[in-house]
Amino acid sequence: MMMMMKAMWETAKEMTLQRITMSYQLRSAALLLPNQLDGLCVIVTGSTSGIGYHTARELAFAGAHVIMACRRVDAAKKIAERWQADLDDSKTLHVEVMELDLMSLSSVRQFAAEWDQSGKPLHILINNAGILLLGEPRQFSEDGIEKHIQVNHVATSLLTLLLLPSMLKANSARIVNVNSLGHHWGVVEPKSWKMGADEEPKFSSMMSYGSSKLAQLMFLKALSIKLVSMAKTSVLCVAVHPGIVESNLLPDGRMRGFWMLDPSEGARNVLFCSVGADVPCNTTDNFAYYSRCKPGMMSSLADDPKECWRVWDETLRILGLSPNDYLSEVIASGSSS
């Protein structure tokens, strides 16, 4: 009951205050300058619309080599062409499009393999892509995983693990997970993640979304602790609630409201966590949770080490990886590259 009351309070507070507070907090967020990010490689998932679109665009305009990782490859290529057309001929954007479908773990593995072949270091990974199937019944991916858990957590976490060797090649790197205030509504129920589990009495798509974001948050926190324990402190792990944003998360546009932020404003929060110089100063075990361009309040479950390790273990089990040995192998491969 206390957890539910806290979730309701955090949601009400955000809905009431975000438009007021963001009016001045956005002005203090990192403003990217031309050529500021020259030489940096950045992967942004879900970058053809919404927050991901504006995040990728700003990073590219600041000189970063941006990889648009998305399902709609043709659409992404047209977007990149449009961005280039917005500039004068004196500057060339470095935007690359690679196919990635988080609804398929094989697609994630193929993407990571293709990126690994490039041999490039990865400086920033922005896990932005996500889904909310509001009002829909319980559905499963081709991998037999509940769809919210698949896209928002399991596939995102797999991508992060597979790209770690590239991030370890960089002098410093950041993993930025676009999370959600909705994680306060989530629960940790790994037994319900897979097909064949007992049906939940009352499946709620909103609860499933919140649980997937909670699992994503807890896995990232566990990863940061693991990396620090292995003396790999060059990779910073940040989860960010971008605000309650007018979004294409729902195809029919139901996520609209006068108090909502527009996607470009939501992207400012993500950009701040991606490149802001102050972010490393507000971390514990190289991990931070941000909201409105400042450290935010996580749910009590996300702060529970025992539950975080349960999410870690179950996620790797679903992926067929060893919870104890896999990361050591990744570290070894990254260090020897």
Tell me phi and psi for residue 95, to 5 degrees: -125, 130
Catalytic residue among 53, 209, 289, 290: 209
- Asked if residue 153 lies in contact with residue 217, where contact means CB atoms within 8 angstroms, the answer is no
Angle at alpha carbon of residue 169, lines to 163 and 172, rounded to 5° = 95
Q: Which residue shows structure tokens 């053809």?
A: 48
DSSP H helices in the chain:
2-25, 50-61, 73-85, 105-118, 147-149, 155-169, 205-229, 263-275, 305-318, 326-336
In whole angstroms, give the CA distance from residue 335 to residue 323: 20
Cα(45)–Cα(235) distance, rounded to whole angstroms?
Answer: 18
CA 316 to centroid of chain Cα atoms: 18
Active site residue 326: no
Residues 6+ apart with CB under 8 A from 181: 10, 11, 14, 241, 244, 291
3-state secondary structure 134-187: CCCCCCECCCCEEHHHHHHHHHHHHHHHHHHHHHHHCCCEEEEEECCHHHHHCC
Q: The tokens of 73 are what? A: 């490859």
The number of residues in the chain equals 337
- Cα–Cα distances (Å) from 18 to 45, 179, 182, 287, in that order, read 25, 16, 15, 24
Q: Look up tokens 């998360």; give the residue.
A: 249
Q: Which residues are catalytic?
A: 209
